[in-house]
Structure 1
Amino acid sequence: MPLPTQPAYFLPLTQAAVSAFLDHAQIPATALERAGLFAAALCQGRPPHRAALTGLIDQACALLAAQPEAAAAQFGALARSVPADPDHWLQALAAQGVLLGPEEVVAHYCAVSADAYPVDLFQADCQTTLEPHTIRFYTDAAVQADPAREPAGDARPAPAYVERTHRYTAEQARALRAIVANDDEHIDLDAYAGAGKTHLILQLLDSATRRYTYIAPRPGQVQAFRRRLSGALPIEILSQISFANQVAGNAHRLGLLGTAFRPTFQISKASFADIARRIGLQPIGNQPPASVLRVAFEGIASWCRSSDERLQPRHFVRALPWAMLDAAPYLAAAEHVWRCMFDPALQKSTLLSLNVDHLGKWLAQHHAPIPTSWGTLLVDEGHDMSPAWKALLSGYAGAVISLGDPNQRLIGRAPRFATGMTLEIAQSVRQGRRVEQLVNQTVALDATGFIQAPFEGSADQPTLVRTYAGWDEVPGSGARVYGSPWRLLEEAQRLAAAGASFGIHPDSVSSLGREVNRGEEAYREMTSHGGSSQRWEALLAECNDQDMPQIPRMFMRGYNRDRFGELGQRLADYHQAPLQLLLVEHAKNSEFAQVAMAICCFRTGFGRGYGHNPVRAAYTAMTRGTGQLWLPAGALEELEQSMARYQARRADHRRSKLATPGRPARR
């Protein structure tokens, strides 16, 4: 079904009136709401033009006011042509971009204009999600008032505040007022997906009443914000990479890092084998140095995303679970690799990569301060920040506002400021009321979320939730989201063979490439070891659990990195493609008119380790669609089972950690 191309149109009709008509053949009391019911019955199945719909309601209202006795016969005939289920009826209307007016608005107009349809006023008053609010943005003159520095003569004093009126949700307005009134506070602003966090950031930056520094997760977001802001504003916009480099540079200048090496974000082009050779890494058991290095990197990555001060055996669970009986050699290897990552001689040639999490852990270990010259820090997507960076920001002398959605943190829990306040926004401006129950049922399956208030859909958005029995029922355009890279790879190969025009998210392409390498290497290892390979057996078990036996057969028939490269050449530009494929972890910070979620978004927990929190992954994907959201039949039942698997595996890891004989003591 095509998506509506015009803004939502509100009928002077309430859900109570619809239910009363279907259940008891009861007709509304006023001519205005009768006209709304009449229009709702007539615009089934075909997108009505807004002007024609207005004319229909206007004429029906006048007719029903002049001839009230004719209403019973008119609606008796209409009753046979409408769905018997009110939900089906309202969904059919929403598919045309037609919504019911808010009950209080309809009641008001039925009271003051029962026999006429003031369309412009009514439609404007139905836009209740965003309403005008006046915000007072305080300036430095208010914060630093000093009678001794009053201007002399006829000079006018600097204004203490600037007032601006803009359209906000009530929660957005409350959050803005709290932020501008607390100029030195550390604030965690938790908001559901689509609640308008970006809108708040833009409003704060555009106010120009305080010195702000905006920290975006990715360089692409920095460019997007620069295009939306006036170049004259005293605002610094940094990516997390640039921010980390500058904090590290300041700590280095202060001599706090204890080394001549100034760490910066860097990407190594050296192979694992070359790195292992140059840092003198030794094999462990039958694992060659390159494999030991891979395990060390994964353990270090897990450690840097945790609040632990030292590397521990549990950081290697996903990388090498069978090594947990004797983790000491891998701990020693990882500690050696970590020291090498900050060794001046080795890093002179950019031998080892350093990312933002590595830098945060290193700086936190050395208690590096963040310079106060940046003013108020606005940290976007703060839920994905590592605990080390959160601790560093907790020590910042100025104000910090961390904006995020803890439900979108796929691994671990979103860190909090050591002290400060928490604000919440539950009202969405992206998705409509029909998504509300689905989102709240999903979030309720995970008890570790921070946002206390339930998700609230927008009354202004006609977002539909569709259920499909077979994948061939989903739209051929829009976004398709996958929980498994193997499912995405299979779909991409099928679409390419059919000659379809589609793109894959660049980060998802990289993930697919890593999985193809894993499959190719596991199969090569199996054939070179006489049919025995633990990695190949793990891949077979993973694909068997997910009912994808065709994936191992692909590698057995010679599928490899070169074949995957041929697929990459076939892809259209992702941002311009009519059909966009992506993994659920790459759906963050994106929005689509249509989203179709594959069954693997809900059927998870079969892969190595315990991976993503399945509830948060599903929530992240289902909050992307503004017009239509397509789910498989039984999606929530599958998600419940996935969450049970996820919790069971986490419990098993905790028990095995406690029960491991000779496990190294925590240091």
Structure 2
Amino acid sequence: MSSPGPFAPPPSLFLPVTEEAAQSLAAGESLDDFLAEATRAQLAALMLLINLNALVEQNTPIEKLERMLDDVMRAALSMEEAGGSFGDLLRMRFNAAHLAQGLSVLEVAGISLLEAHEVDDEDYLDDEGHWDFGFGKRHRQTLEPLTREVVLPTGDLLYLSDQQSRIFDEFRGCQDESFHLQAYAGVGKTFLLAKFFETLPAETTLLMATYPQQVKALEDRVRQSDPSRKLHACTFGHMANLLLNRDQTSAGWRNTGRQRTGADSLVSDQQIAEWLNLQTVGNLPPRQVAWVCRTTVYSFCLSPLPTLEPRHLPSLGYAASQADIAMLLEYSRLLWRETVRPSAPHIRLPVRNSHRIKFLSMTSEVVFENFTHIIIDESHELTAPMVQILDRSPQAVITLGDEFQQLSGKAPRHGGSIRQRFMTQSIRAGRQMADVLNPLIQLHPSDIKEGFVGRAPYPTRIIGHSVMPIPDKPTTILVANEWGLFAWFKRLTEAGARFQLPAGTAQDLTLFIKGLVLLYREDLRPQHRLIFRYTHWDALAKAMGGSHEFKAVHEWLGQGNTEPQFVETLQRFCSEPGAILKLAKVEDVKNQEFDTVLLSRDLMRPPRTGSPHSLASVCSLLYTASSRARHELLLPGNLNDWLQDIGRKES
């Protein structure tokens, strides 16, 4: 099972005891010190907490719990007036274990504890010193995140959090300056971005994002207030194509046909090797040399460097000689040249947006100057060449993103002195999420260390497990990559559990399994990116170090299973659209949120020693996965200890 009972509701009863005091007493610290300072309301609250677990098991309504609190306070007053001591009675009935149980069910019961200054204010008492039954409603209103009213130029009323409103006011005062907003997960950045747009001239403002679905989501958000409003919106790739296609000189790269640019334009590595006359390099036959060259050119296209260098080469799975490296780089440069300007009509290499954007970044072109403002959502997805183009363009560039959601490593930064502001208060997650995300933010090699704050009106329950269960209610299971996917695929199917798997993810997992089967049975190098570097099974086994995920694959293959058996099992267990379980990689769900999220243990992969990009990727995977949860987050119980151990090794 995943967790007891329904999701925790927003709290409506607030007890005048601090969490620090309650946790200390539950841990066995002196009760006498508490009793010496406690007021009648605090004593009554502690008495209720001691009995709370039993009351919750009896399904006692929150209204009755509040009346019981008032009754205990009145009984304590009567005892005092008769010369007795309610503290003595509490001492007799106190049980640290019962208090710990009561604290564990606070959230489910709809109860929260107050901060120290709130306890001292005593706003929960009426004029006669009794419990004020209107306090819960008043206090809950102060915790609602969206309380600031802002009037837009259209006359519409906008409700923002205090943090959102401060940033919105600053933006309105400096609209013609570039502005970057580092906005943590769940803070409502796309909503705020849409409101930025409403203050700018629509005819000279360009909305942009990296992927078409991001542009569509941005357009939909902006049009919520005015469906007929004219927008200029496109992906960065589309803009790059428009800019490049207008240069008809020999220095340009005009490309209007779809034969090479369409998504269905695919060429095998064997065909590339034949077109470019690639020869064997080291242990790599021509077909695999072509794969290395494709991967190298792609890495080059994401980098800020003007030339192909050894750092762009992928891992080859063997110690390559300097001659091999030089030859692979020369072949990669040939592939880049033939992609941009084919030397013969029959060479028809696919052209992707990454190629065009990289080419554009090495020119002096800027974004169309008829635009005065550019707004970019999910700016952590920008590549270094995209940032180079933006930095030299004359427009005011407003970017919103969260670099802790850049899964491939450290996000590229803008040059110059661009204003940077932070939004740290999430309206998606409760305050408990800070205990999970802030250690990741501190460990991440970024120089951004602002603390995450959960401001949702409901709590987010954080549930640790030593052995992760198979959930019995709607849950999204998130893994790092195909290794984690298969381990959970095997576990779920063997348990007879139906689940959903995104279509693209299923295709990639099938290719992964095909590669593993070929490597296991025939020692043929796989084509899947995760395992391409291995030329025989023993090398893969040594590299995986006996991990749980590898053992799951090895056991499955040892049972005689092959790709057809995998596909048949996939169709049998993943064809139910209404299945309550969803299995996905973190990268599949970056812009989504779910009521309950389970983090797979394979997300806890140790970063490469001395590699900031590897450490950034590990932290970002855990941060992004965790922050998808609204109400419940199920995670490995030793996650905090694991993070502390990594922190000690990195320091």
Q: Where on the TM-score scale, by shorter chain, does this alignment land: which range?
A: 0.7 to 0.9
Q: Deviations over 1:108-149 (max 9, x none)?
A: 6236654221156424434243322426x5xxxxxxxxxxxx
Separation in 2, partners of 1:79, 1:432? 36
Mark the CA change 1:21 to 1:441 in structure 2 (over 3 Å): closer, same or farther. closer
Cα contact 1:205–1:235 (8 A) shared by 2: no
Q: What does the per-residue CA deviation read over 1:130-185, in whole Å, with 9 as the maximum and x for residues that have no partner?
A: 322426x5xxxxxxxxxxxxxxxxxxxxxxx4566533333222222222222222
Measured at CA, do residues 576 and 221 of structure 1 come closer, stay the same or move farther in structure 2, by a change above 3 Å? farther
The correspondence for 1:90, drawn from 96, 103, 123, is: 103
SS of the aligned residue for 1:378 comes to strand
Q: Is structure 2 residue 627 aligned with structure 1 residue 630?
A: no
1:496 CA drift (Å): 2.2
Quote the offset at 1:233 in angstroms.
2.5
**Residue-by-residue CA offset, 1:564-610 (whole Å, 9 max, x unaligned):** 33243235479853111122333422222222222211134589x98
Deviation at 1:337, TM superposition (A): 1.3
SS of equivalent residue, structure 1 residue 44 = helix
1:219 — aligned with what? Answer: 212
Residue 563 of structure 1: aligned partner = 565
SS in structure 1 at match of 2:486: helix
Q: Which residue of 2 aligns with 1:620?
A: 624
Q: Is 2:242 aligned against 1:246?
A: no
1:292 deviates by 0.9
Aligned residue for 2:112, secondary structure, equals: strand
The answer as to whether partners of 1:433 and 1:458 remain within 8 angstroms in 2 is yes
1:330 is matched with 328
RMSD over aligned Cα, in angstroms?
3.9
Query: How far 1:519 moved relative to its partner?
Result: 1.7
Query: C-alpha displacement at 1:225, in angstroms?
Result: 4.3
Matches of 1:363 and 1:388, distance apart in 2: 8
Q: Does 1:122 pair with 2:122?
A: no
> Could you tell me how far 1:295 is from its partner in structure 2?
0.7
Q: 1:260 to 1:355 in 2, by over 3 A?
A: closer
Change (3 A) 1:11 1:292: same
Is the partner of 2:299 in helix, strand or coil? Answer: helix
Length-normalised TM-score, structure 1:
0.80
Q: Give unpaired runs (5+ residues) of structure 1.
A: 138-160, 649-667
**Other-structure match for 1:189:** 181
- Does structure 1 conserve the Cα–Cα contact (< 8 Å) formed by 2:8 and 2:461? no
How many pairs were matched up? 615
Question: In the alignment, is the contact (CA less than 8 A) between 2:367 and 2:393 conserved in 1?
Answer: yes
In structure 1, distance between residues paired with 2:647 and 2:345: 42
Provide closer, same or farther for how the CA distance between residues 299 and 393 of structure 1 changes in structure 2, counting only shifts above 3 A. Answer: same
Per-residue deviation, 1:331: 0.5
Question: Residue 152 of structure 1 aligns with which residue?
Answer: none
- 1:288 and 2:304 correspond: no
The 1:132–1:82 alpha-carbon spacing in structure 2 relative to 1, beyond 3 Å, is: farther
Over 3 Å counting, the alpha-carbon distance change for 1:629 and 1:18 in structure 2 is same
Of residues 259, 278, 283, the one that matches 2:253 is: 259
1:472 match: secondary structure: coil
Instruction: Mark the runs of 5 or more structure 2 residues left unpaired by the alignment.
Output: 526-532
Give the direction of change, closer, same or farther, for the CA distance of 1:232–1:333 in structure 2 (3 Å limit): same
2:110 paired with 1:110: no
- Residue of structure 2 in register with 1:174 after alignment: 166
SS in structure 2 opposite 1:338? helix
Shift of 1:67: 6.2
Deviations 1:331-355 (A, max 9, x none): 1111111122223687999x43444
Judge conservation of contact 2:443–2:619 (CA < 8 Å) in 1.
Answer: yes
Matched, 1:505 2:520: no
One-letter amino acid matched to 2:539: A
Kindly indicate whether the alpha-carbon contact (under 8 Å) linking 2:296 and 2:312 is maintained by their aligned counterparts in 1: yes
Q: Does 1:309 align with 2:272?
A: no
Q: Give CA deviations for 1:175-207 in whole Å, capped at 9, x if unaligned.
A: 222222222222221122222212312333455
Amino acid at match of 1:470: V
- Normalised to the residue count of structure 2, the TM-score between the two structures is 0.82
Which deviates more, 366-375 or 388-397?
366-375
Aligned residues of 1:192 and 1:455 also touching (Cα < 8 A): yes
| Structure 1: distance between partners of 2:92 and 2:149 | 43
| Counterparts of 1:622 and 1:534, CA distance in 2 | 35
Distance 1:487 1:418, change over 3 A: closer
Q: 1:533 to 1:435 in 2, by over 3 A?
A: closer
Q: C-alpha offsets along residues 11-64 of structure 1, whole Å, 9 cap, x if unaligned?
A: 143416646876526569667666655655554367699994235424643673
Cα offset, 1:209, TM superposition: 5.8
* 2:590 paired residue number: 588
The CA distance in 2 between the partners of 1:10 and 1:565, in whole Å, is: 52
| Distance change (3 Å), C-alpha of 1:611 and 1:17 | closer
Partner of 2:383 in structure 1?
386
Matched residue SS, 2:450 = coil
Percent pairwise identity: 22
**Structure 1 residue 492: deviation in Å?**
0.9
Equivalent pair of 1:190/1:422 in contact (CA under 8 Å): yes
Cα offset, 1:310, TM superposition: 1.1
- The counterpart of 1:442, out of the listed 437, 440, 465, is 440
Aligned equivalents of 1:551 and 1:606: distance in 2? 23
- Residue correspondence of structure 1 range 49-64 to structure 2 within 5 A: 52-58=61-67, 60-61=69-70, 64=73
**Structure 1 match to 2:229:** 233
What's 1:7 paired with? 10
Aligned-partner Cα distance in 1 for 2:124–2:589:
43
Match of 1:424?
422
Query: 1:320-359 to 2 correspondence within 5 Å?
Result: 322-323=319-320, 325=322, 326-343=324-341, 351-359=348-356
Counterpart residue identity of residue 113, structure 2: L
| Whole-angstrom distance in 2 between the partners of 1:97 and 1:505 | 35
Superposition deviation, residue 327 in structure 1: 0.7
